[in-house]
Structure 1
Amino acid sequence: MGTSIQNIRGFSDVLPDEGPIWRFVEDTFRHELERYGYAEIRLPIVEKTELFSRSIGEVTDIVEKEMYTFTDRNGDSLTLRPEGTAGCVRAALQRGLLHNARPRLWYAGPMFRHERPQKGRYRQFHQVGAEAFGVSGPELDAELILLSGRILRALGIDGLRLELNNLGTIEARRRYRAALIEHLQAHEGWLDDDARRRLHTNPLRILDTKNPQMAEVIRTAPDLGDYLDETSRQHFHDLRAMLDAAGQPYTANSRLVRGLDYYGGTVFEWISDSLGAQGTVLAGGRYDILVEMMGGRPTPAIGFAAGLERLVALVEAAGSAPAAPSVHAALVAVDEDLQADTVALAESLRDRLPWLRLQLPIGGGSMKSQLRRADRSGAALALIRGAEESAAGEIIIKDLRGDAEQYAVAIERLPEILSPLEST
């Protein structure tokens, strides 16, 4: 016997007993996003590599170390998408969705990053994202943040905290970047290898380090808020006033940055303390420069993305997902000669009762073994057909979850007998 084939590390299966939680999370996102006027867009998994290198940034960890990139038979460099925003903007531009419009879009699906697998983080992971275009004011920032909070509450997840920051304009970040580099160079002996590599390419990402050795260097670094332009200050002030008015708690965190080059202005994260160092479960912000970077007209935009694996883990821990629906009834044919008629009866019942979850214990065997399979299916009732009942146009009803006596009824009464199960 050869060794069985194993899945690739960091690429996980979602098993049938996990499916109901995943559907609950996905359906909750879909329901709330559509309530706010967001329309679904379905994006390809594979894009041209230059889409991500141009939009995310050449010196980010994603582009440098984490993308799954390959050359196809035509010699084109292609990449499995590591995130959804760039593809969504590409589609909006290519398909004319931004022409005289302010679209609100959402998408869901797998993303791919070759990083070290850890709790809640995989090389193939799943995200739901939302993107809104064409409005520069803080009211859209506030609505998107409040929408994200509504989704997380609907999932029944407690103990999350919201952190906010404003990264300012490109010019403000340029001034801050120079001051930050000067500070970090003065403490270069305390920097780890990642920080030294980023020092002159992406120094703001150093602020996001989890290395305790660098905690004091980060604590004493210049504050980005001191370098903001007046427009960004007012935008942040107005956003906070709107969240205050809506009763949404938050913490202003001047060290909060996002890992992709296209972010500027408002950024935010919802964070859990129960997932270890990688505690962000939903995050986003403004990327007012990205559409223009990708060849479009200047277009303000903001969005967020949420990792489903982490949310599924939190929903599972909270016990907030509804129980998986069980089978209502199982149809059992005692005699092998009745199999064809029993299949036809099952289809007739499904036609007449569209809500009915009906299972045939396919595979034959004795009535006892079929009833055993029916019981394992979770069915409330067994519907038993023998030769005698078939000849009389009847069927036996057996309660699998109680101690009621089994009884025979006319087959035409089955819809009436089964109707109380519709609400279960």
Structure 2
Amino acid sequence: MTTRAAAPALDLSLAALLAEAGFARAEPPLLIAADLVRDLVGEAMARRLFLTSDADGTEMCLRPDYTIPVVQAHLESARAGEAAAYSYLGPVFRHRPGLPGEFAQAGIELLGRADREAADAEVVALGLEGARLYADGPLDVAMGDVGIFLALLRALDLSPAWRRRLIKDFRRNDMLADDLKRLADPSTHAPAHAGLLAALEGANPKAAHALVTDLLSIAGIATVGGRSAADIAERFLEQAALGSGGLWPDKVAVVQQVLSVEGDPVSAEQQLRAIAAEARLDLSAALDALARRNGLLAERGVDLSTVRFSTHFGRDVDYYTGLVFEIHDGSGQVEKPLVGGGRYDRLTDMMTARLGLDLKVPAVGCAFWVERLAVAGGRA
């Protein structure tokens, strides 16, 4: 068994493997705009940022991961509309109770590839190959596909407000269960301020927003919990929109059926096709994509019979739109993921909108937690 002193050499071997696979080494800035990170990753990550400001007072943060600065650099370059493959190895910074705030991260980002399922399969296969550099023991692969849930919500013809709500709920089991009950029978949920919400329901959005803002102003309320009056007004309008339109209980049962599917990716696809056919829902595009990806993974030597697929599996940020996966230590020595990633087209959509670019940039990638890999491989 080697010592932790040998781990940096393994990290360099990983970097060499990624370079040989055609992923150019990226070196993005250490400091990035804090508001960009908050907008893209949500509150959970935002609370863990190391913050500072530049000479003009603009709030900045040390990069909490590589994905955002690598994607930003690509989109701001002359190659923004082209396919590109990037790799990285270096420090990232997050508040981690009981652990150093600075740690090393390696990873890959595959941008602009129109052959989405082939790109997905390449990233998963390379993730496994990289993990094998460190760990000789068993590796467990957990996989899901957020795109199936998104396709289900579209097929059910939900209101935009309810679609947004359930997408946010996807990684939060208790909230999802409560909202599905509310959708099945809206009368079982009487929210606070029901009178005001009923008055706002169906109203002209601009007039309703002005009404709520004026009411808060009359009451002398400028902010609540750091939220402005405008933010609070938006929240009221969202709640009013959620008050209208439920689903028949049998449709909610279909959602629950879909989200309960587990097994290897091939059997999961078969189960999902049967559910969709029985419910007369068109999920064919999402399930055809799953089938293509399964075939391409098998071609790359991934044993799908050992992969644990779950339609309810997600990761800890909201920007994933398709494949999500994690590679775990099968020996149980390390509890947290060794490698994790997925398809994040939503993140690139948000970033191109911020930059004023009229581009669609498909994106998939993964990060290697090299300090965990070293422990899993007995080299810590």
Q: Same fold (TM over 0.5)?
A: yes
Q: Cα distance, 1:186 vs. partner? A: 7.8
Amino acid at match of 2:5: G
Question: How many angstroms does 1:167 deviate by?
Answer: 0.3
1:103 equivalent to 2:84? Answer yes
Q: How far apart, in 2, do the equivalents of 1:43 and 1:268 lie?
A: 25
- Following the alignment from structure 2 to structure 1, what is the Cα–Cα distance between the partners of residues 58 and 30? 16
* Cα distance change on mapping 1:51 and 1:222 into 2, 3 Å: farther
Q: Which one of the candidate residues 103, 127, 136 is aligned to 1:148?
A: 127
- Which of the pair is proportionally richer in helix? 2
Q: 2:6 aligns with which of 7, 20, 30?
A: 20
Deviations 1:139-185 (A, max 9, x none): 11111111111122233432111111110175646385479746235
CA contact (8 A) 1:46 1:78 kept: yes
Change (3 A) 1:28 1:221: farther
AA aligned opposite 1:82 = P
Distance in structure 1 (CA, Å) of the matches to 2:63 and 2:332: 24
Distance 2:337 2:111 in 1: 24
Q: Shift of residue 274 of structure 1?
A: 4.9
Identity %: 23
Tell me the equivalent position of 1:134: 112
Where does the alignment leave 5 or more consecutive residues of structure 2 unmatched?
154-162, 183-234, 236-254, 262-271, 277-281
The correspondence of residues 16-95 of structure 1 with structure 2, limited to 5 A, is 18-24=4-10, 26-57=11-42, 59=43, 61-63=44-46, 65-95=47-77
Q: Which amino acid aligns with 1:238?
A: R
Separation in structure 2 between the aligned mates of residue 222 and residue 184 of structure 1, nearest angstrom? 16
Tell me the TM-score normalised to structure 2 length. Answer: 0.62
Rounded to whole Å, the distance in 2 between the matches of 1:282 and 1:230 is 30
| TM-score when normalising by structure 1 | 0.56
Alignment-derived partner of residue 361 in structure 2: 299
Measure the CA separation in 2 of the matches of 1:182 and 1:130. Answer: 32
Query: 1:115-264 alignment to 2 at 5 Å?
Result: 115-117=96-98, 122-136=100-114, 137-168=116-147, 170=150, 172=152, 174=163, 177=167, 181=175, 183-184=177-178, 223-224=258-259, 229-249=283-303, 250-264=307-321
CA–CA distance in structure 2, aligned partners of residues 122 and 165 of structure 1: 31
Deviation of 1:71 after TM superposition, in Å, equals 3.0
Contact 1:162 1:268 in 2 (8 A): yes
User: Quick one: which of 293, 305, 311 aligns to 2:373?
Assistant: 311
Mark the runs of 5 or more structure 1 residues left unpaired by the alignment: 1-16, 189-199, 201-219, 320-424
Q: Deviations over 1:317-347 (max 9, x none)?
A: 5x9xxxxxxxxxxxxxxxxxxxxxxxxxxxx
Q: Closer, same or farther in 2 for the Cα pair 1:274/1:158, shift >3 Å?
A: closer
Letter in 1 for 2:320: Y
**RMSD between superposed Cα atoms in Å:** 3.0
Q: 1:50 to 1:241 in 2, by over 3 A?
A: same
Q: Offset at 1:43?
A: 1.2
8 Å contact 1:49–1:78 — kept in the other structure? yes
CA distance in 2 between counterparts of 1:49 and 1:274 reads 38
How many residue pairs get matched? 264
| Secondary structure of 1:280's aligned partner | coil
Report the secondary structure of 1:75's partner residue: coil
Q: Secondary structure of 1:289's partner? A: helix
* Higher RCO (CA 8 Å, separation ≥ 6 residues): 2
